[in-house]
Structure 1
Amino acid sequence: MKRIFLSLLLIAGVTTATMAQSSQYQDAMTKNISDLDSSSTFKPDVLQQKANVFERIANAEKSQWQPYYYAAYCNIMSALMQQDKSKVDAMADQAENDLTLAEQLSPKNSEISCIKSLIATARLTVNPMERAAKYGPMAAQLLEEGKAFNPENPRVYLLQGQSLIYTPEQFGGSKEGGKKLLELALQKYSTFKPATTLDPVWGEGYAKGLLSNVK
């Protein structure tokens, strides 16, 4: 009887610790994700700092894909804003490492495909003349993969629309085609429901801004 009682106490202790850890994880993630909505966060150095924070959370909570995803997101957004292009490939490498871990935990994830596409785009910007042939089709293919995994993901259409707008017409770009995709993205945003409170929801405001500029 004493042994059973001790076993129950041990189980209760483990359960309480797990709940406390889960609550701490949820709070930390919610706070840091909300910071990404601030314009003061969207600066290359600050985004790299945020990437480090998400990586620390990921290392403490190895069973969740979202911290690795957000670490990759912050790194690649910072890379896309870099004036010094010599830094971009190393940042893209780090983002890829984080996404590999995220994908092991959540395979066939449309959100991960979108960040992979942004990584390809970032690598292209290092030297567009030499890299466009490789990384342009790769970025487009990854967005098609994301659409196949979840055709309701608005970020797929946002990134496709952005690509068409900023690609010269002689290389397949189209402002009109980009406009239609941005309008579709906004339709998707209006009905999109993330699977959890920690899943990505970014991009709607940016899509509206892009569409306004095109109009």
Structure 2
Amino acid sequence: MKQIIVILTMLFAGQLMAQTKYESGMQKGLEQFAAAKSAEDMAAASAFFERIADAEKDKWLPYYYAAYTNHLTGWMNPKADKDKVAEKSKDLLGKAEALEKNADTYCMRQMIAIQQLTVDGMSRYQTYGAIAAQAIEDAKKADANNPRIYLVEAQYMINVPAAFGGGKAVAKKLVEKSLELYGTYKPASPFHPQWGKDQATQLLAACQ
């Protein structure tokens, strides 16, 4: 009996240490992400999250953050090959989605599609516009109360001509809904996505 108790105690301690190591890594990664000032800094954060993901193969969040921070490098570096950046983001996001699909992964898929659309809006609108629209629809089905859905939709719609259903008035309604939801939104854990409120506030000012 004593041997069983010792074994169970050791197993529990091992699980606790592994969990603590994961949480410590995620905290460090999020701090690195928040402190990033350049595309190179953001790429380093992405690589850090990817290492966590490869070590914790049953958790979707590290792959999600690896995809998100990689995605941001495409905007932070004006000379970046956005298609190349997007393909890497899609690969990382696919690994997250293999573990869990939710409103935030769908939002990420929309953001990646928009990044590729901007390479050549005229020729890519139908293809990537459709992917982005479907991702938003899927996100709303997954969790219509996630504020980032309406933020990323507004970020896109503000750049769509009013004649095609976009413009500032449309974006304003979306971002107002986003900010309203941020007021009550509670992440499932300290490591779940929380970003976007500051961006929504800035976007609302741009919609005035």
TM-score for the superposition, normalised by structure 1: 0.90
1:81 maps to: 76
Q: Please, which of 182, 195, 200 is the counterpart of residue 188 of structure 2?
A: 195
Mapped to 2, the partners of 1:89 and 1:7 lie a distance apart of 55
1:8 maps to: 5
| 1:88-167 to 2 correspondences below 5 Å | 88-107=82-101, 109-167=102-160
Q: Please, which of 26, 39, 63 is the counterpart of residue 29 of structure 1?
A: 26
RMSD: 1.6
1:52 maps to: 47
Aligned-pair distance for 1:60? 1.0
Mapped to 1, the partners of 2:163 and 2:76 lie a distance apart of 25
Q: Is the 8 A contact 2:114 2:156 kept in 1?
A: no
Gaps of 5+ in 1: none
Mapped to 2, the partners of 1:12 and 1:68 lie a distance apart of 31
Gaps of 5+ in 2: none
Aligned-pair distance for 1:136? 1.5
Identity across matched positions, percent: 34
TM-score for the superposition, normalised by structure 2: 0.93
Aligned-pair distance for 1:172? 2.8
Aligned-pair distance for 1:97? 1.5
- SS of the residue corresponding to residue 145 of structure 1 reads helix
- SS of the residue corresponding to residue 166 of structure 1 reads coil
Aligned-pair distance for 1:161? 1.1
1:66 maps to: 61
Aligned-pair distance for 1:10? 2.8
- Aligned residue pair count: 208
- SS of the residue corresponding to residue 112 of structure 1 reads helix
Mapped to 2, the partners of 1:112 and 1:121 lie a distance apart of 14
Q: Please, which of 180, 184, 187 is the counterpart of residue 177 of structure 2?
A: 184
- SS of the residue corresponding to residue 181 of structure 2 reads helix
Q: Is the 8 A contact 1:82 1:88 kept in 2?
A: no
Aligned-pair distance for 1:110? 0.5
Mapped to 1, the partners of 2:204 and 2:33 lie a distance apart of 21
1:18 maps to: 15
Aligned-pair distance for 1:101? 1.5
Aligned-pair distance for 1:42? 4.6
- C-alpha distance after superposition, 1:128-169 (max 9, x if no partner): 222122111211221121011000000000011111112223
